[in-house]
Structure 1
Amino acid sequence: MGKAPTVFDLFCGAGGLSLGFQQADFRVLGGNDFFKSAGQTFSNAHENSKFYDMPIQELKGNHILSDMSMKRGDLDCLVGGPPCQAYSVYNHKRSMDDERANLFKEYLRIVDELYPKWIVIENVTGIKSIDNGQVIETIRTELNDRGYEIEVKTLFAEDYGIPQERRRVIFLGNRINAPIHWPKKTHTAENFVTIFDSISDLPELENGEKLCDGTYLEKPKSNYQRNIRKNSLKITNHDAPKLGAVNIERLKFIKPGGSWRDIPHDLLPNGMKSAKRSDHTKRYGRMKWDGMSCTILTKCDIHWGAYIHPEQDRAITVREAARIQGFPDHVEFFGNKTEQYVQVGNAVPPILGKAIAKTILPTINSIKNSALNDETV
Structure 2
Amino acid sequence: MRKGNKIVAVDLFCGAGGLTYGLETAGISVALGVDIDPNCAHAIEANSKAKFLQADVASLDVDKVQKALEGGDFTLLAGCAPCQPFSTYSRAAKQRHGENAGDGRSEDWRLAEHFGNIVRKVQPDIVTMENVPPLAQQEVFKIFLETLEGYWVDWKVIECNSIGLPQTRKRLVLVASRLGPIKIPDFDLPRKTVQATIGGLPEINAGGQDPNDRLHKASRLSSTNLERIRASVPGGTWRDWPERLLSSCHTKETGATYPSVYGRMEWNSPAPTITTQCFGYGNGRFGHPEQDRAISLREAAMLQGFPRDYSFLPEGESVSFAKVGRLIGNAVPVTLGSVIGKFIKQHVEEYRSSSIGEASESLGQN
Name the TM-score, length of structure 2 as normaliser.
0.83
How many Å apart are 1:287 and its aligned residue?
1.1
Residues 134-143 or 167-176, more deviating: 134-143
What's the offset of the Cα at 1:213? 2.1
Structure holding more helix per residue: 2
Indicate the residue corresponding to 1:356 in structure 2: 340
The residue type equivalent to 1:252 in the other structure is: R
Shift in Å, 1:85: 8.2
Matched, 1:126 2:140: no
Indicate if the aligned counterparts of 2:152 and 2:182 stay in contact, CA closer than 8 A: no
Q: Show CA shifts across 1:92-142 (max 9, x none).
A: 9767xx523442332122212321111111111122344xxx543332223
TM-score of the two chains, using structure 1 as the length reference: 0.81
| Correspondences of 1:144-159 after superposition (within 5 Å) | 144=149, 147-159=150-162
Change over 3 Å in CA distance of 1:142–1:109 after alignment to 2: closer
Deviations 1:348-370 (A, max 9, x none): 21112211221221232344567
Distance 2:287 2:183 in 1: 40
Structure 1 gap segments, 5+ residues each = 215-235
**Residue 183 of structure 1, CA deviation:** 5.4
5+ unaligned residues in a row in structure 2: which ranges? 87-101, 314-318
Specify the code of the residue in structure 2 equivalent to 1:263. Answer: W
Give the distance between the partners of 1:279 and 1:179, measured in 2 at CA.
Answer: 40
Residue 143 of structure 1 aligns to a residue in which SS?
coil
Are the aligned partners of 2:129 and 2:173 in contact in 1 as well (CA < 8 Å)? yes
Q: Using the alignment, how far apart are the partners of 2:12 and 2:21 within structure 1? A: 13
Q: How far is 1:53 from its partner?
A: 0.9
Aligned counterparts, 1:88-103, within 5 A: 98-103=106-111
1:75/1:115 contact within 8 Å kept: no
Where 2:271 maps in the other structure, the secondary structure is coil
Change (3 A) 1:120 1:183: farther
State the match for 1:267 in structure 2. Answer: 245
Give yes or no for the alignment of 1:211 onto 2:190: no
Cα deviation code 1:288-327 (max 9, x no counterpart): 1112211111111322210000111000011111111111
Tell me if the contact between 2:161 and 2:168 (Cα under 8 Å) persists in the aligned partners: yes
Q: Deviations over 1:206-230 (max 9, x none)?
A: 110121123xxxxxxxxxxxxxxxx
Cross-structure match for 2:179:
176
Residues 1:107 and 2:115 are matched in the alignment? yes
Distance (whole Å) between structure 1 residues aligned to residue 332 and residue 302 of structure 2: 13
For 1:45-64, what aligned pairs fall within 5 Å after superposition? 45-47=47-49, 49-64=50-65
Q: Distance in 1 between matches of 2:116 and 2:342?
A: 25
Amino acid at match of 1:322: A
Confirm or deny: 8 A CA contact 1:287 1:307 kept in the other structure.
yes
Q: What's 1:253 paired with?
A: 231
Q: 1:186 corresponds to which residue?
A: 189
Choose from 142, 149, 152 the match for 2:147: 142
Does the CA-based 8 Å contact 2:26-2:342 persist in structure 1?
yes
**1-side partners of 2:272 and 2:12: how far apart?**
26
1:117 maps to 125
Q: Is the 8 A contact 2:297 2:325 kept in 1?
A: yes
Cα pair 2:133 2:170 within 8 Å, conserved? yes
The structure 1 residue matched to 2:166, chosen from 160, 163, 171, is 163
The 1:277–1:178 alpha-carbon spacing in structure 2 relative to 1, beyond 3 Å, is closer
Q: Quote how far apart the aligned CAs of 1:273 are.
A: 2.5
- Could you tell me which of 23, 41, 65 is aligned with 2:25? 23
8 Å Cα contact 1:94/1:101 also seen in 2: no
RMSD over aligned Cα atoms: 2.7
- How many matched pairs? 337
Call closer, same or farther: CA 1:13–1:181 in 2, change over 3 Å. Answer: same
Q: Percent identity?
A: 30
Residue in structure 1 matched with residue 291 of structure 2 by the alignment = 312
Q: Distance in 1 between matches of 2:148 and 2:56?
A: 22
CA distance change for structure 1 residues 183 and 33 in 2, over 3 Å: closer, same or farther? farther
| Counterparts in 2 of 1:366 and 1:125: CA distance versus 1, 3 Å | closer
Report the residue type matching 1:25 in the other structure: G
How much does 1:254 deviate?
Answer: 0.6
Q: Distance in 2 between matches of 1:364 and 1:141?
A: 23
Deviation at 1:205, TM superposition (A): 0.2
Amino acid in structure 2 at the alignment position of 1:184: F
Alpha-carbon offset, residue 22 of structure 1: 0.7
Partner of 2:307: 328
What amino acid is aligned across from residue 290 of structure 2 in structure 1?
A: E
- The one of 339, 343, 359 aligned to 2:327: 343
What is the alpha-carbon distance in structure 2 between the residues aligned to residue 317 and residue 171 of structure 1? 32
